[in-house]
Amino acid sequence: MTIDSHQHFWMYDPDRDSWITEEMSAIRRHFMPTDLRAELHANGIDGVIAVQAASTPEETQFLVDLSTMYAMIKGVVGWVDLRAENLEEQLENFRSLPITKGFRHIVEAEADPDYLVREDVQRGLCALTKYDYTFDLLIHPRHFQQTLACVAQNPKLQFVLDHMAKPDIKSGEVEQWASFIADLSKYPNVVCKVSGLAKEADWSNWELSDFTAYIDHVIQHFGKDRVMFGSDWPVSLLAATYRESKEIAASRLDDFTSEERAAFWGETARRIYKF
């Protein structure tokens, strides 16, 4: 089974979705599974992991509801307030919704570099561990050092690094990002999505070679059994077609065995998100 481990769906709301700036106007509209179905078929993708794009309880329910109507959705990474006093009660309720595989918080939007090591957030991550959920990491460089501390403090929680930590491919900056990837990969409870890379390059003037050093570095450090494909559709459409996003991810797999390719294109996502 071939899986896209990172998709978004939304009914566009200008107030809630203010993160979609003027330069991103091409995605200021609704994006639903019906908009994606043909792309998945054309690219040989059997299913997707639907990931939250808004930090509201309603977002998680929206994605869960979509999963009851569209078999392409194999798992949901939703949002929950990690600081909530009744968090364990909420997680207990999610047990009746087995399509929910994990949660994500948009840490990159947090100005506080210490967000992930705050005591209340750490309590929330401990609860995710207790209930066997994953946690996707969407971070900004100002969070790199505390992300390492956070992961070190939660050795039994399965972390998933989104978009290879969003390297600044357009500027060519490598050193800080590369050091972080090398350090983070030392923790066996972290896997990495090769996803959303075109958006980090020059949107209108990128080449496959722009991504080579970054993808190679991730594979070198995480290994072939801890990386997986994600498109980041529809955000990826700002810089690439669906097929181009897949081609970017596939560009450095020449020395993968058939088993390693199967892991990259789906089996690792199945293992991590447990579907």
Q: What pLDDT score was predicted for residue 110? A: 96
Cα–Cα dist 110/114, whole Å: 9
The predicted-structure confidence for 44-57, as pLDDT tens digits, reads as follows 999 999 999 999 99
Give the chain's mean pLDDT: 97
The predicted-structure confidence for 252-266, as pLDDT tens digits, reads as follows 999 999 999 999 999
Domains and CATH numbers, the chain: 3-273 (3.20.20.140)
Torsion angle of C-alpha atoms 96, 263, 161, 253, degrees rounded to 10? -160
Among 16-20, 38-42, 86-90, 102-106, the least confident range:
16-20
The predicted-structure confidence for 105-144, as pLDDT tens digits, reads as follows 999 999 999 999 999 999 999 999 999 999 999 999 999 9
Summarize the confidence of residues 65-82 as an average pLDDT: 98
Q: What pLDDT score was predicted for residue 135? A: 98
What are the Cα distances from residue 20, in Å, to 9, 30, 85, 97, 178?
A: 14, 12, 31, 30, 28
Summarize the confidence of residues 217-223 as an average pLDDT: 98
The predicted-structure confidence for 177-215, as pLDDT tens digits, reads as follows 999 999 999 999 999 999 999 999 999 999 999 999 999
Nearest residue to 48 via CA among 266, 264, 247: 266
Peptide bond into 155 cis (omega under 30): no
Cα–Cα dist 154/132, whole Å: 12
Cα–Cα dist 135/125, whole Å: 8
Write down the residue that tokens 């794009």 correspond to. Answer: 53
Summarize the confidence of residues 12-24 as an average pLDDT: 93
pTM: 0.97
Q: What pLDDT score was predicted for residue 173? A: 86
Question: Is pLDDT above 90 for 227?
Answer: yes
